Amino acid sequence: MPDREAAVARLMDLDSRSELTTVHVRLVASSLGVTVRAVWYWIAAARSEGRLAARPRARLVVTPEIRRLLAFWGGNVSAVHRELVARAAADPEAGPVPSLSALHRAVVRELSAGERAGLRGGEAARRAHDVFGKRPALWRNACWEGDHKHVPVQVDVEGELACPWITWFIDCATKVIAGVAVTPHAPSRDAVLAALRASITRTEPFGPAGGLPALVRVDRGKEFLSTTVIAALGAFAVPVHDLPAYSPHLKGTVEALNDAVEEMFLVSLRATPTAPNSREAGAPIRTRHH
């Protein structure tokens, strides 16, 4: 179905040869679902202005000054509009002030969701909207990511309370947890070695997932970078990639695992005491260590 521009071009071609009639105009109006008067208006605009399409609507542009005001008012568009109105009242030469709805539409159109969040909540809020490059799809055991996760409970270990830690490795391609080690103390190289043994070994009681990775990514954890761990992986010709500090997005697979465990499992441990006396005020939550 032709649009206005194509239809008006055809009508102007007829007009240039003095063949344009009301029948042509009515036919175009019927086909495009508009009135005959509208089509005659299009023809008049084409004759006087050479314009075949509709006149482009003027759109409000977010100027650097408006951006500065948005930053000053913490992303509050209504506050920016009030200041623009006050400026126009004080200075008659300041020019017309756009409506509040037009200003809202311009801000939403020209500022990304991350920019608007940053104006309201600062840099940390803006970073929540950042999109990081997706790594290419790989094969099984092409890369593992390792990390520690603190478990927010107290475990009774031979009469002493301890806070356990989880050390694990996850396969980035299949999202399978290759191996896990749980220790009743802060993570150390023994936990990393135990998790590595569980990850590499595929015989019972481990496996069937696991094997030898082509690469292991860690985030500068001294336990993962200890001489013993590096030597153990080096014996299998497995390099360890030490990521820069404060870059959790570079090992997003294991970070997503940590977040999922935190939100879906660990929160229930805090509200599930197992010892009878743990209901007393101030008593720690205890779980039996096996």
135 domain-assigned: no
95 domain-assigned: yes
> Within this chain, do residues 148 and 179 fall inside the same structural domain, yes or no?
yes
> Within this chain, do residues 97 and 148 fall inside the same structural domain, yes or no?
no
137 domain-assigned: no
Domain count, the chain: 3
Give residue 103's Cα distance to chain centre: 26
Of all residues in the chain, what percent carry a pLDDT higher than 90? 52
Cα 14 to Cα 49: distance, rounded to the nearest angstrom: 17
Q: What is the pLDDT of residues 106-160, one digit of tens each?
A: 999 999 998 999 999 888 888 788 766 677 888 999 999 999 999 888 888 888 8
Structure tokens at 74: 């913490």
How confident is the model at residue 131, as a pLDDT?
67
Q: What is the pLDDT of residues 216-262, one digit of tens each?
A: 999 888 899 999 999 999 999 999 999 888 788 788 899 999 999 98
User: Are the CB atoms for 101 and 77 separated by under 8 Å?
Assistant: no
> Within this chain, do residues 270 and 153 fall inside the same structural domain, yes or no?
yes
For 204-213, b where at least 16 C-beta lie within 10 A, e where not — what string?
eeeeeebeeb
User: Are the CB atoms for 210 and 236 separated by under 8 Å?
Assistant: no
> Within this chain, do residues 162 and 274 fall inside the same structural domain, yes or no?
yes
What CATH number has the domain bearing residue 206? Answer: 3.30.420.10
- Residue 207: is its pLDDT beyond 90? no
> Within this chain, do residues 45 and 149 fall inside the same structural domain, yes or no?
no
User: Are the CB atoms for 169 and 177 separated by under 8 Å?
Assistant: yes
23 domain-assigned: yes
How confident is the model at residue 277, as a pLDDT?
43
- Residue 26: is its pLDDT beyond 90? yes
How confident is the model at residue 4, as a pLDDT?
87
Structural domain that includes position 256: 144-279
> Within this chain, do residues 154 and 274 fall inside the same structural domain, yes or no?
yes
> Within this chain, do residues 41 and 73 fall inside the same structural domain, yes or no?
no
178 domain-assigned: yes
240 domain-assigned: yes
Q: What is the pLDDT of residues 265-287, one digit of tens each?
A: 887 775 444 444 433 333 444 44
How confident is the model at residue 190, as a pLDDT?
92
37 domain-assigned: yes
132 domain-assigned: no
pTM beyond 0.95: no
> Within this chain, do residues 73 and 123 fall inside the same structural domain, yes or no?
yes
What ranges in the chain are assigned the alpha helix state H? 4-16, 22-32, 36-49, 64-72, 77-90, 100-110, 113-121, 123-127, 189-200, 227-235, 252-261, 267-270
